[in-house]
Amino acid sequence: MTVRRTGSVALPEVSPFVELLHRAYETEPLVTP
């Protein structure tokens, strides 16, 4: 499993809530300035 960084928060483990957030981020296109 890969540790993903969201903002300044490192997510070393996937909880149901975190997995839901990941799915939301993957579904929506991320706009990087």
Query: Tell me: the pLDDT tens digits for 1-33?
Result: 566 655 666 656 667 887 888 888 888 776 666
Q: What per-residue confidence (pLDDT) applies to 24? A: 83
23 in a structural domain: yes
Q: What per-residue confidence (pLDDT) applies to 32? A: 66
Per the structure, the count of domains in the chain is 1
Q: What per-residue confidence (pLDDT) applies to 30? A: 65
Q: What per-residue confidence (pLDDT) applies to 33? A: 64
Q: What per-residue confidence (pLDDT) applies to 8? A: 60
Instruction: Map the chain to HEC letters.
Output: CCCEEECCEEECCCCHHHHHHHHHHHHCCCCCC
22 in a structural domain: yes
Q: Which domain holds residue 31?
A: 6-33
